[in-house]
Amino acid sequence: MDFPSTPLPDRRQSRDAVLAQLRDLKRDDRKWEEGKVFGLVYDAGPEHHALLRDAMALFEAENGLNVLAFPSIGLMSHDLVQLTGRLLGAHAHGTSVAGHLTSGGTESLLQSVKVARDVARGRGVVRPNIICATSAHAAFTKAGQLFDVDVIRVPVGEDFRADVSAMEAAITPDTAMVVASAVSYPQGVIDDVTAIGALAADRGILCHVDACMGGFFLPFLTQLGRLDVPFDLSVPGVTSISADLHKYGYASKGVSVLCFSSEELARHQLFVTNDWLGGFYASTTMAGTKPASPIASAWASVMALGTEGLLELTAATDDAATAIKDAVRAHPALRLVGEPVMSVFAIAAENSTALDIFAVAERLAAEGWHVDRQHHPDSLHLTVHAGSVKATPAFIDALNRAIADVGTTRTENRSTTYATGD
Ligand SMILES: Cc1ncc(COP(=O)(O)O)c(C=O)c1O
């Protein structure tokens, strides 16, 4: 995008002047606090955000690069990895959870691929590949480009879950890893993790479960008795799992967890060198300097909410998502894409020549609703979160009105809008 630029000022400016400019810069941003943004932001309410801000402020200057200087960051990171692993079946592999924090879902997936590449190289594979479905996150393709790993995408079935037979057929002697999503970003479905894990175990390769979206939702949905599907590290053959604290862990942006089935695998995430003038250098993330504020925010978030809070937020979010999904099922012009199991799902037109769902998206956007647009099929993508609950009845109303208003008109704009670059 073309943004106007503000030059470096010649003179110092007052704190008030700078903050006023920042507030002004935000004027065109989506007002997520109203609950009208179905994606990008996960909102557990104003009190929770006030806590996150205070926690971030406490660690504004610290640097997680060196936990000898800042042991608090090491302790918080350790807590977050341990409690995430315990939520996600790591007990099947011992009492201590092997894993590391990363800066977000994308980095967790990048690291999972790097680990798989290094393990494959260890058995002599020169150009490893990984196999994932077309529904697996774009970050796997990014990982392939960054780490010289071929990413073989196989189709999804009619249910939009990874086609496991196609995965099996795609495996070569150079395959390092197969991927399952729990849930997939585009349609919010859970792949057959049991079958994909079994395939990996049978072929002696790694299996990563991308639970970036579902990792802090599915376990609570399960505890609520609303889901009974195996998807985590306790499934035989699964060797790593990622879960984003900055999504349904309701932390500020910049924290995800990558857990492994063994310490040996986790060690591949560690970069160590002594081969320069600066001395011993070890790091488990892509970045060197590591912001402590997101880690403190994540720690504060889960400690404040506890199991009780996360169960309540999950139940309320699931209720809101169910209300929207039911409204979609009840509308003759709409359909859900696949069978979404949680609060992430896609809405398509029942008959795409009779209703242009992107025209509906434009009508909703004009009323201040933020829903992403995706393709194959053209659809609206919704991430319902706790902050959406209050706006859900109004959204259902707006959706029904938008469909009636749009009629058979179409929009020229066929662009999809998940991530825009800058
Ligand atoms: C399933 C899944 N994996 C990975 C990611 C990437 O996460 P991030 O945007 O935090 O890098 C997302 C983001 O929505 C996701 O839904």
Task: Summarize pLDDT for 212-250 with one digit per residue, the tens.
Answer: 999 999 999 999 999 999 999 999 999 999 999 999 999
> What CA–CA distance (Å, rounded) separates 342 from 220?
11
What's the CA-to-centroid distance between 269 and ligand 1, angstroms? 19
> What CA–CA distance (Å, rounded) separates 372 from 420?
11
For a mutational test of ligand 1's pocket, the pick from 41, 106, 181, 341, i.e. the residue with the most ligand atoms closer than 8 A to its C-beta, is 106
Closest CA to 84 of 264, 265, 209, 269: 209
Render pLDDT for 84-115 as a digit per residue (tens, 0 to 9): 999 999 999 988 999 999 999 999 999 999 99
What's the CA-to-centroid distance between 348 and ligand 1, angstroms? 22
Render pLDDT for 17-50 as a digit per residue (tens, 0 to 9): 999 999 999 999 999 999 999 999 999 999 999 9
Provide CATH 3.90.1150.10 ranges for the chain. 306-406
Supply 74's token pair: 């090491």
Fold of 306-406: Aspartate Aminotransferase, domain 1 (3.90.1150)
- Confidence category of residue 324, pLDDT binned at 50, 70, 90: very high
Provide CATH 3.40.640.10 ranges for the chain. 58-301
Fold of 58-301: Aspartate Aminotransferase; domain 2 (3.40.640)
Which atom number of ligand 1 is nearest to the Cα of residue 211?
1
What's the CA-to-centroid distance between 10 and ligand 1, angstroms? 40
Write down the pLDDT at residue 3: 81
Mean pLDDT, residues 385-402 taken together: 97
- Predicted TM-score (pTM) of the model is 0.97
Which atom number of ligand 1 is nearest to the Cα of residue 244?
10
With a Cβ cut-off of 6 Å, ligand 1 is lined by 104-106, 109, 137, 139, 181, 185, 210, 212-213, 244
Render pLDDT for 243-277 as a digit per residue (tens, 0 to 9): 999 999 999 999 999 999 999 999 999 999 999 99
Cα 319 to chain center, whole Å? 21
Write down the pLDDT at residue 210: 98
Render pLDDT for 149-190 as a digit per residue (tens, 0 to 9): 999 999 999 999 999 999 999 999 999 999 999 999 999 999
Give the C-alpha distances (Å, rounded to integers) separating 138 from 338, 382, 418.
Answer: 19, 17, 10
In which residue are the tokens 């009323």 written? Answer: 367
What's the CA-to-centroid distance between 106 and ligand 1, angstroms? 6
